[in-house]
Structure 1
């Protein structure tokens, strides 16, 4: 591997290494909350993983932390039915949210999950950023835009993470990215940079670790 040179390359290398070190730390399950009353009071930076059911939230968390079973994965949409909190090295909480837009669950369950997730997202002072995961094969859906609208109104920063990029061809991903970037430019709480990931191939994992690590450093400054 060729060593990067120059200030930009050196800075990026430092970011990647900082991300590697943080995500090599122990990551432990802290709590699961099925109601607002069960959400724990925590004093560290939080990053939440949101997205449609079966978009790959749990798989991405496992890939980031180099663990196979930290977050439960399933081919059955709607498996995550509570907000799960994970402590990463005493510096960052990773928060796995129930998937939105799962039509096969009962309306009552969907309403409960939606209220729980929305209440958490709008009222969490320690929440630094929401990672909105979007399947690269399908792009933004109505339910994704509803979440984006809610986060815009609540002034909660969010960033689009395209998942399963290994299952799409590059031209389709490039075209989708341009469309999403144009939409994000009109949204006040959206982070402008879109990241590309594949939990299977490891694509984008280093870059995402670096991005999340930089959030903990900003808070500590």
Structure 2
């Protein structure tokens, strides 16, 4: 029996080197966007990162780029509800979406963010893949399913990235992976490989770099 959502394999040497070169090159914060009219021109491949609050998104972006403070640009006051664009060289955008699941966020703010997110996912023709970050300690929760359903409806391919793998023991790791594999079966837009990462230990970083670098 073939597992439907296996863990992503180690990248081949060519893809690994392509990923290394991409993230070793210039990585710059472009702008924060609060309306579709503010999006940069759709002139290059882009990927986006989504995840609930405190999932470790900034840490992973910093680990990918090798720049410890890069993602702080998206976490400063006033930018928490923006779509933040980073340029990877001259032919890629890495897009940092606001963390979702803030219980204390005002209803109007949440509604505005959800509307912008829906417009972005449905209308960005250069978006090749959404990476949905899930905390290895908790697995997929109800709030994550809402985002996954939105990606399904928008026909945007998404790939689950498990974060904080170093924070759990083997049994919890295996249980969470199994839970995620089962949950993804309900989502037609799910890419059939899961990436396991640890920003602190570097696990999965080369794999994720290679995936982003080889998307066309």
TM over 0.5: yes
Contact 2:74 2:84 in 1 (8 A): no
How far is the alpha carbon of 1:17 from its aligned partner? Answer: 1.4
C-alpha distance in structure 2 between counterparts of 1:86 and 1:210, whole Å: 17
Match of 1:186 in 2: 186
SS of 1:131's equivalent in the other structure is strand
Match of 2:174 in 1: 174
C-alpha distance in structure 2 between counterparts of 1:95 and 1:75, whole Å: 13
Is 2:121 aligned against 1:121? yes
Is 2:145 aligned against 1:145? yes
Structure 2-normalised TM-score? 0.89
Q: Figure out how many residues of one structure are paired with residues of the other and give that number.
A: 208
- Mark the runs of 5 or more structure 2 residues left unpaired by the alignment: 1-8
Equivalences for 1:1-221 in 2 at 5 Å? 12-72=12-72, 80-215=80-215, 219=216
Contact 2:32 2:74 in 1 (8 A): no
- The one-character-per-residue Cα deviations of 1:120-155 (angstroms, maximum 9, x if unpaired) are 112110000000000111111111101111111221
Task: Kindly report structure 1 stretches of 4+ aligned residues shifted beyond 6 Å.
Answer: 73-76
SS of 2:12's equivalent in the other structure is helix
Which structure ranks higher in relative contact order (CA pairs < 8 Å, sequence separation ≥ 6)? 2
Instruction: Give the 3 Å change call, closer, same or farther, for CA 198–123 of structure 1 in structure 2.
Output: same
Instruction: Give the 3 Å change call, closer, same or farther, for CA 141–10 of structure 1 in structure 2.
Output: closer
Contact 1:58 1:73 in 2 (8 A): no
Instruction: Give the 3 Å change call, closer, same or farther, for CA 18–137 of structure 1 in structure 2.
Output: same
SS of 2:186's equivalent in the other structure is coil
Bigger CA drift: 29-38 or 61-70? Answer: 29-38
How far is the alpha carbon of 1:73 from its aligned partner? Answer: 7.7
Contact 1:31 1:85 in 2 (8 A): yes
C-alpha distance in structure 2 between counterparts of 1:133 and 1:188, whole Å: 18
Contact 1:100 1:114 in 2 (8 A): no
C-alpha distance in structure 2 between counterparts of 1:106 and 1:180, whole Å: 30
SS of 1:53's equivalent in the other structure is coil
The RMSD of aligned alpha carbons is 2.3
C-alpha distance in structure 1 between counterparts of 2:157 and 2:106, whole Å: 30
